[in-house]
Amino acid sequence: MWPFVRRNRLAPIERLHDSVAALARDPILFTRHGVADTFEGRFELLTLHLALVLRRLGALPAPAADAAQDLTDLAFRRLDQGLREIGIGDVAVPRRMKSLARAFYGRASAYHAALESSNSRLLAETLRRNVFAGGEGDADGLALRVATIERTLVGLDLDDILGAGFETISQAVREENEAAQPNRL
């Protein structure tokens, strides 16, 4: 009986993770912003979007911390599964996961510091260094997207984040994408 109870408890977390992952796979990120469509590029985008949600959950009262931990645990379980699916051997997976965890927490900390500074240039440089590995890409445009997501998240409580309210983030990003497109005749 307990697996069904646990599954019900984690169902909102699974939906949240799926929503965050969908946001991180937005084709605009690869086409307009120039993020590499590779395992590393996708990891960077998932890390960025998860970091934004975890940052908001960290600012909310209990039980948001439990939700944040469940989301983090699920994200790493799915990363582990993804590594195994692309053919990384059982012996190498723990070493790769340790490296990914170190990268995830380092980037989350860097994004948090940049957002706390309210300095858009610092945020863009942090994104350039991490998401674009110091190379080419529209870090300024990505910084605008991050600011839109951050602004929208601030208006959401835990029930919104775990429920249908997360759609407001997707809607805000869609509106930002449409506003950034040149007018077509």
* pLDDT level of residue 5 (50, 70, 90 thresholds): low
C-alpha pair distances (Å), 101 with each of 25, 55, 67, 75, 108? 20, 17, 18, 10, 10
C-alpha pair distances (Å), 54 with each of 18, 28, 72, 109? 14, 23, 8, 11
What backbone phi and psi angles, to 5 degrees, belong to 183? -65, 135
Given a cut of 60, whether residue 3 has pLDDT beyond it is no
The Cβ of residue 56 has, within 10 Å, a number of other Cβ atoms equal to 23
The Cβ of residue 117 has, within 10 Å, a number of other Cβ atoms equal to 12
Mean pLDDT in residue range 166-171? 86
DSSP state of 37: -
Given a cut of 60, whether residue 2 has pLDDT beyond it is no
